[in-house]
Amino acid sequence: METFEFTEHSHRRFNPLNGEWVLVSPHRTKRPWQGKVENPAVAERPQYDPGCYLCPGNQRAGSDTNPDYKDVFAFQNDFSALVPDIPEGAFVKGDLFRAESERGFCKVICFSPRHDLTIPEMEVSAIRKVVDLWCEEYRKLGAIDYVNHVQIFENKGDIMGCSNPHPHGQIWAQNAVPAEPAKESVRQKAYYEQHGRTLLEDYVQEELALKDRILFENSRFVALVPFWATWPFEAMIVSKNAVSNIAELDEAGREAFADAYRRLTIMYDNLFETSFPYSAGIHQAPTDGAAYPEWHLHMHFYPPLLRSATIKKFMVGYEMLANPQRDITPEQAAERLRALPELHYKMR
């Protein structure tokens, strides 16, 4: 009987962060593609766009006008999904109908005044200012009495639903801990109570010893393709030490985070020599004032491109109704990313 090899045969992998499984089907990489093909053509953008509602000095989608900002800039989203002035209340009818009010804040973070840049094209010193602003906003929003969770994230590329190409991200702060971090919170707490160490602290050490899925490391962070990755070139940036939130990073930690953010996104752009789309977000401890020694700072990257700049991975059918599935293995993805030059393709 043939010996099972997880690099060749279909199998399931367990995600210890959320307690869920992903189906891996390496043999499906051989199938021909006759599905949707994206148009990767991206027009060169000017440094300043008078029609962009995020550029300095321009009027936004609402009635406000942006200041002539010179580096990073944060403002309350003009069309926030969460607003602070919602009255407390609930609707309950038996065991099957339940709703409750949810208030909070949605902020936009402009990474740069330049319309033509993205994170991989920015200098580490400029990205460091983004990290500093994240820390400031995490502290400030988290200090509001009813805010128990702060979600920092970036959507890059129109196929990820990004409505404006100007380099920017968002921060949503709210009363409830959302579903994905809530799952991770339960799993990390159970692991910490059993082992006395954080789940990701042990995981990073194991990955560093194996090296199969490591992309790179610097003084404070490791970038890797998780063993349980779902998206084709999914990756994580994980703190080497057990830091529970971004505000706990010292000066060297913030610099290292900025460096890792830039290096990983350069890998992405270089993979298909295009402005690589993704959704990325930081998972960290809640902000309800309690201690969370089990929480370990990390940033997820979920990119949809599969075989080229024109072919995208869709989460449909089985993925939506059963559980996530991927064709290229995490080890293959890591090998391809590691082999790329560190210099951005536009600079070569």
Q: Which residues belong to the active site?
A: 168
Residue 200: count of CB within 10 angstroms of its CB: 26
- Phi, psi torsion values for 218, nearest 5 degrees: -125, -160
Spell out the residues 6+ positions from residue 243 whose beta carbon is closer than 8 angstroms to its own: 249, 253, 296, 297
- Using CA atoms, how far apart are residues 40 and 32, in angstroms rounded to an integer? 20
- Using CA atoms, how far apart are residues 341 and 345, in angstroms rounded to an integer? 8
- Using CA atoms, how far apart are residues 287 and 172, in angstroms rounded to an integer? 13
- DSSP characters over 16-67: TTTTEEEEE-GGGGGS---S-B-----PPPPS--TT-TTSTT-B-SSS-B--
- For the record, the structure tokens of 303 come out as 């990119």
Distances 154 to 115, 134, 169 between C-alpha atoms, Å = 16, 12, 4
Distances 109 to 59, 151, 172, 317, 337 between C-alpha atoms, Å = 16, 12, 11, 35, 28
- Using CA atoms, how far apart are residues 166 and 118, in angstroms rounded to an integer? 8
Spell out the residues 6+ positions from residue 347 whose beta carbon is closer than 8 angstroms to its own: none
User: Where is 326: in which H helix or E strand?
Assistant: strand 325-326
CA quadruple 164, 278, 292, 132: dihedral, nearest 10: -50
